[in-house]
């Protein structure tokens, strides 16, 4: 044997058979229970009696289960937050205020583009209600199953042929009558009903709607409304967006209201202001909007006092005569209070202002700070959200959702929806380039509402944001006593921008102010720290298992290192034995020409066994020869036999 092999054999011979390097898992567990500091495991091994051992097994397993349960509760509590609210008084920055006229464009400037659409809309309303002025009792004068083709004036309708208006009978929902031709047609595909959310109408057996189809007209969806007015307004809005999407931005800005036209008077913090303090913001559905105290200003304005006299006071010129009668059904303006770097979603969260009224809006500022992962799913700046921000503004949940929908719109429909900003290298939808964009848009919007596009699961809420709690109050304005002189003075001041005498229904007064300068901050902080979590872990381990950190390290060493090393060593030994058997030459006992069958000493030839080979034969399976038992050495001892004699002899000699 080589010297290296001798050293290896000696080391293996001297290795302990118990302890962390025990050859079997059973020996490892036995060694651990005898040497561990956890008393329960040791008592399982050293206890005498089966009942006592079973009780200690039960107690130990119960303690381990309680430790796991308590530690799991501690881990869950580690990811909870505590909310603290602080209220402090200080000088506050005034928010950005965006003001829009509800009517986006002056009707005199845009009427040339909408001539055909308005004419067809008037004919449809006349066919549905019977008259043009729509008094309260005209709903009983609807024409039953009568077409308007015979009374049509002018060129053939273009928009009614593109998206026909249909009248449905609730008893026969799969059959409808075409408004223009008067023909009855069978409706295929899905029918989606939208209840009235604009105005209350009496219950009717008839529904009004329109049908949208894909390019090959094989897949269609029909949208019905409980109110004919809602149906026609939705139908008009679709065509309106298609027309305005093809108008250049510069032309649309010129067709809308200028800041000098919209703003009659302006005061902030007791100081006069004018149109130069407002920044133009063009909204696709609201035209020219103007933002006060925008981020483009050199300095952000602040207020040092609370109350209506120290806020923003403006008088707005609404100009009701320029309203589009089919696009909007109310007069006034919309206002939105937001941060300087925030996009104004005026159509979603804007507050409407009535004409001939003074609207006072008192504000309370609340600033919120949330903890990001692992405490919540919020995002700091949206950089970890896989959605491209198409808005030129700071990240918000609403921006993420609209950006996701607009991106899906471009991917699925090939064009962008008109009411939202354009993604890079995209165009707004129109009939000429995308004939079926309306059908695609409605189908995609239904999928978005049902959360099938994945936008709601991807977008996250911002971790920090500001919000203003608004308290709105109204008062009639101007009063009867001051109406005459006030309107005359305003008309004289606005003589260059206004060509007619002002009426109180053309004006609206707006006051926005801080009710007080108390700012409320809502901040989240971890309910537990790492130090407290480790301390609680140690308390649970000491309470249930009298265990310390050293004991935990011992458990990790035994159950994770030694345990798997033993398994790996056994598997490696099996693999080595298998490989050795595979590389070894064939055994003589498995050869077909061997003689002697179970005799491993025989060679491959057929000769009889020699003496040398016979000496290596296994012994015959016979009864063992009894050996000579060892002598009983106790019988050979003579001490006990002669002990009495020796005693007597000693006595005699002494005497």
Over 80: is that where the pLDDT of 61 sits? yes
Classify burial at 210, counting beta carbons within 10 Å of its beta carbon; exposed 0-12, middle 13-18, buried 19 or more: buried
How many CB atoms neighbour CB 121 within 10 A? Answer: 23
Classify burial at 503, counting beta carbons within 10 Å of its beta carbon; exposed 0-12, middle 13-18, buried 19 or more: middle
Over 90: is that where the pLDDT of 354 sits? yes
Would you give the distance in Å from CA 27 to the centre of its chain?
Answer: 52
Mean pLDDT over 414-418 rounds to 91
Mean pLDDT over 103-107 rounds to 94
Instruction: Give the residues across from 266 on adjacent strands.
Output: 314
Task: Give the pLDDT of residue 490.
Answer: 77
Task: Give the pLDDT of residue 171.
Answer: 61
Task: Give the pLDDT of residue 155.
Answer: 64
Are 458 and 387 contacting, i.e. CB atoms less than 8 angstroms apart? yes
Please, which pLDDT band fits residue 613 given cuts at 50, 70 and 90?
Answer: very low
Residue 347 or 7, more confident? 347
Q: Which residues contact 292 (CB under 8 A, 6 or more apart)?
A: 96, 97, 98, 99, 268, 273, 277, 278, 312
Tens of pLDDT, residue by residue over 254-268, are 999 999 999 999 999
Q: Mean pLDDT, the chain, as a whole number?
A: 77
Mean pLDDT over 203-209 rounds to 65
Instruction: Give the residues across from 185 on adjacent strands.
Output: 176
**Residue in 159, 212, 157 with CA at minimum distance from that of residue 187:** 212
Mean pLDDT over 88-103 rounds to 91
Task: Give the pLDDT of residue 482.
Answer: 84
Mean pLDDT over 344-349 rounds to 92
The full 3-state SS of 279-303, as one line of letters, equals EEEEECCCEEEEEECCCCCCCCCEE
Tens of pLDDT, residue by residue over 491-506, are 776 665 566 677 888 8
Please, which pLDDT band fits residue 334 given cuts at 50, 70 and 90?
Answer: very high
Name the range with the highest mean pLDDT among 223-237, 552-566, 588-602. 223-237
Over 50: is that where the pLDDT of 18 sits? no
468-483 as b/e: b if 16+ CB within 10 A = beeeeeeeebbeeeee
Are 212 and 242 contacting, i.e. CB atoms less than 8 angstroms apart? no
Task: Give the pLDDT of residue 312.
Answer: 95
In angstroms, the CA 311 to CA 237 distance is 37
Are 283 and 244 contacting, i.e. CB atoms less than 8 angstroms apart? no
Task: Give the pLDDT of residue 479.
Answer: 87
**Residue in 314, 325, 331 with CA at minimum distance from that of residue 262:** 314
Comparing 42-51, 172-181, 451-460, 475-484, which segment has the lowest mean pLDDT? 172-181
Comparing 335-344, 621-630, 640-649, which segment has the lowest mean pLDDT? 640-649
Task: Give the pLDDT of residue 135.
Answer: 41
Over 80: is that where the pLDDT of 356 sits? yes
In angstroms, the CA 201 to CA 134 distance is 14
Task: Give the pLDDT of residue 20.
Answer: 47
Over 60: is that where the pLDDT of 649 sits? no
Please, which pLDDT band fits residue 631 given cuts at 50, 70 and 90?
Answer: low
Tens of pLDDT, residue by residue over 374-387, are 888 899 888 999 99
Please, which pLDDT band fits residue 470 given cuts at 50, 70 and 90?
Answer: very high
Task: Give the pLDDT of residue 573.
Answer: 83
Over 60: is that where the pLDDT of 415 sits? yes
Task: Give the pLDDT of residue 134.
Answer: 44
Tokens of 445: 């919007």
In angstroms, the CA 237 to CA 121 distance is 11
Over 90: is that where the pLDDT of 569 sits? no
In angstroms, the CA 649 to CA 655 distance is 10
Please, which pLDDT band fits residue 201 given cuts at 50, 70 and 90?
Answer: very low
3-state class of 362 per DSSP?
Answer: strand
Over 50: is that where the pLDDT of 591 sits? no
**Residue in 152, 60, 220, 74 with CA at minimum distance from that of residue 531:** 74
Comparing 72-76, 192-196, 294-298, which segment has the lowest mean pLDDT? 192-196
Task: Give the pLDDT of residue 125.
Answer: 80
Task: Give the pLDDT of residue 623.
Answer: 53
Q: pTM for this structure? A: 0.69
Mean pLDDT over 408-431 rounds to 90
Question: How large a percentage of the chain has pLDDT more than 90?
Answer: 29
Q: Which residue has the tokens 């507050």?
A: 351
Task: Give the pLDDT of residue 499.
Answer: 60
Tens of pLDDT, residue by residue over 272-292, are 998 889 999 999 999 999 999
Over 90: is that where the pLDDT of 548 sits? no
Name the range with the highest mean pLDDT among 85-94, 460-469, 519-528, 540-549. 460-469
Tokens of 5: 């092999």
């Amino acid at each position: 044997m080589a010297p290296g092999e001798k050293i290896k054999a000696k080391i293996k011979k001297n290795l302990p058979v118990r302890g962390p390097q025990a050859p079997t898992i059973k020996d490892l567990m036995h060694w651990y229970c005898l040497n561990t500091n956890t008393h329960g495991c040791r008592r399982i091994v050293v206890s005498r009696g089966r009942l006592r051992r079973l009780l200690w097994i039960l107690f130990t397993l119960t303690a381990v289960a309680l430790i796991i349960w308590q530690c799991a509760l501690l881990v869950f509590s580690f990811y909870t937050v505590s909310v603290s609210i602080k209220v402090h008084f200080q000088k506050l920055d005034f928010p950005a205020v965006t003001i829009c006229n509800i009517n986006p464009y002056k009707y005199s400037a845009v009427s040339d583009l909408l001539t055909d659409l308005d004419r067809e809309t008037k004919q449809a309303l006349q066919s549905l209600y019977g008259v043009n002025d729509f008094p309260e009792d005209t709903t009983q004068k609807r024409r039953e199953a009568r077409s308007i083709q015979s009374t049509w004036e002018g060129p053939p309708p273009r928009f009614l042929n593109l998206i026909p208006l249909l009248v449905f009978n609730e008893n026969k929902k799969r059959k409808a009558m075409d408004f223009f031709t008067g023909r009855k047609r069978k409706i295929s595909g899905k029918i989606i009903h939208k209840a009235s959310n604009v105005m209350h109408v009496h219950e009717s057996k008839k529904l009004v709607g329109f049908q949208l189809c894909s390019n090959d007209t094989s897949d269609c969806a029909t949208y019905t409304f409980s109110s004919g007015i809602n149906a026609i307004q939705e139908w008009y809005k679709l065509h309106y967006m298609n027309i305005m999407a093809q108008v250049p931005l510069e032309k649309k800005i010129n067709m809308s209201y200028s800041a000098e036209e919209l703003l009659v008077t302006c005061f902030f913090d007791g100081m006069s202001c004018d149109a130069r303090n407002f920044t133009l913001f063009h909204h696709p559905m609201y035209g020219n909007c103007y933002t006060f105290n925008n981020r483009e200003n050199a300095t952000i304005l602040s207020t040092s006092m609370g109350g209506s006299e120290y806020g923003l006071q403006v008088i707005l010129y609404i100009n009701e005569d320029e309203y589009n009668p089919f696009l909007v059904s109310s007069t006034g303006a919309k206002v939105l209070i937001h941060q300087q770097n925030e996009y104004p979603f005026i159509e979603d969260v804007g507050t409407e202002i009535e004409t001939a009224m003074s609207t006072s809006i008192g504000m309370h500022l609340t600033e919120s700070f949330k903890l990001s992962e692992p405490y919540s799913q919020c995002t700091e700046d949206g950089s970890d959200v896989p959605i491209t921000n198409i808005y030129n503004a700071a990240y918000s949940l609403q921006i993420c959702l609209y950006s996701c929908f607009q991106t899906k719109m471009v991917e699925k429909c090939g064009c962008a929806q008109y009411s939202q900003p354009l993604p890079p290298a995209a165009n707004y939808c129109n009939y000429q380039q995308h004939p079926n964009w309306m059908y695609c848009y409605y189908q995609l919007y239904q999928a978005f509402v049902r959360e099938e596009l994945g936008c709601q699961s991807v977008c996250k809420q911002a971790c920090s944001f500001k919000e203003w709690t608004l308290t709105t109050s109204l008062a009639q304005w101007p009063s009867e006593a001051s109406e005459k002189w006030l309107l005359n003075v305003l008309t004289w001041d606005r003589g260059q921008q206004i060509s007619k005498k002002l009426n109180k229904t053309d004006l609206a007064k707006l006051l926005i102010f801080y009710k007080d300068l108390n700012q409320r901050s809502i901040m989240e902080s971890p309910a537990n720290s790492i130090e407290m979590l480790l301390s609680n872990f140690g308390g649970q381990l000491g309470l249930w298992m009298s265990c310390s950190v050293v004991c935990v390290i011992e458990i990790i060493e035994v159950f994770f290192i030694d345990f798997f090393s033993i398994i790996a060593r056994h598997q490696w030994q099996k693999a080595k034995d298998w490989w050795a058997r595979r590389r070894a030459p064939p055994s003589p006992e498995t050869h077909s020409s061997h003689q002697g069958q179970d005799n491993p000493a025989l060679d491959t030839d057929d000769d009889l066994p020699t003496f040398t080979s016979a000496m290596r034969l296994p012994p015959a399976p016979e009864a063992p020869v009894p050996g000579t038992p060892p002598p009983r050495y106790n019988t050979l001892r003579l001490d006990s036999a002669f002990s009495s004699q020796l005693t007597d002899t000693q006595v005699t000699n002494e005497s």
